Amino acid sequence: MTDRLLTERQRNELEFYEEFSRYNPPSQVLFDPVSGKDPKPWNSYWYVMDVVKQNFRGGDSKLLDFGCGTGANALLFSKIGYEVFGFDISPNNVCLAETMAEKYGVKDRTHFSVGVAEHLNYPDSYFDVVVGIDILHHVSISEALTECSRVLKPGGVAIFHEPVRVPVLDTLRETSVGRWLVPKERSLARHITEDERKLTPEDLKIIKKFDPDLSAQRFVLLSRFDRFIRNPKYKERSVLEKMDLKLLSLVPSLKTFGGVVVLVLKKQR
């Protein structure tokens, strides 16, 4: 991959994550989400790990970490038992992922490379599971999912965790007051890239073309306010996340207002 092959958006992402990873190198990886202890089904990221565990079929199962970043999630997948392959647009991210894999003793079950979501360097029908965590809103969705489908085995599963636009609330967020409260401009401190955007209803329609029967689990209803009332260093359970789980289950119509979706797509045989 060279700069001349990248789109303007991809060059922006590359520049951002090269800088971001230098200022935010990983220090440790917590394996609690895959340990089976103290489960947190109300947390969207823990839910993803539960789905990944449910789809593990044995020691030869191959998983693609679709936009692996610095490799924290790849290490969790490897602890489940998968042979993990991960790619990222940032060479420094890939270097950090390799370093963390060696630190935690999973170097033999993880393989990292530099690449882009729209043009994967993997064979057809190679992976049992593909997992993308907060990646689709950074890429060209249709191209990325076409590649995802190509490298996924028939019957394989793709799992994506993504932020989505919410009626009314996102419109309010885009006002001057909303931007003051929750800035959207490029920021290394807030981890916001120049071109990222939440998934729209039109994006979800594109995704559904790849599996009309996809599962879509919503999260983050009241817990969107955690950022204003909860100390980010406080690692205990979020009461609002637990309330969200109950509310979204009891009142299905509220799912429209869930700000995060976990999508599970299955490739037809």
**Coil, strand or helix: which one is 92?**
helix
Beta-bridged to residue 129, according to DSSP, are 63, 157
Res. 4: pLDDT tops 60: no
Instruction: Quote the pLDDT of residue 249.
Output: 93
The alpha helices in the chain, defined as continuous H runs, are: 8-23, 32-35, 44-54, 72-80, 91-103, 141-151, 169-173, 176-181, 201-208, 226-229, 239-250
CA distance 95 to 89: 11
Across residues 49-60, what is the average pLDDT?
Answer: 94
Average pLDDT of the residues in 171-184: 82
Distance CA 46, CA 35 (A): 11
Quote the Cα angle for 15-178-197, to 5°. 35
pLDDT at 67: 97
Q: Is the pLDDT of residue 230 over 80?
A: no
Distance (Å) of CA 208 to CA 69, 98, 161: 26, 34, 15
The gap from C-alpha 43 to its chain's centroid, in whole angstroms, comes to: 13
Half-sphere exposure of 14 (CA within 13 A, CB side): 18
Within 10 Å of residue 249's Cβ, how many Cβ atoms? 10
As a whole-number percent, the residues of the chain with pLDDT over 90 amount to: 77
Output the average pLDDT for the chain.
Answer: 92
Determine the average pLDDT of the residues in 251-259: 95
Mean pLDDT of 180-206: 89
User: Domain boundaries in the chain?
Assistant: 3-266
pLDDT digits (tens, 9 = 90+) for 20-37: 999 888 889 999 999 988
For residue 212, pLDDT over 60 is answered with: yes
**Taking the CB of residue 54, how many other CB atoms lie within 10 A of it?**
9
For the domain with range 3-266, which CATH number is right: 3.50.40.10, 3.30.420.40, 3.30.2080.10, 3.40.50.150?
3.40.50.150
pLDDT value of residue 229: 80
At 169 the pLDDT is: 83
Residue type at 137 in one-letter notation: H
pLDDT tens-digit map of 98-127: 999 999 999 999 999 999 999 999 999 999
Token match 């401009």: residue? 185
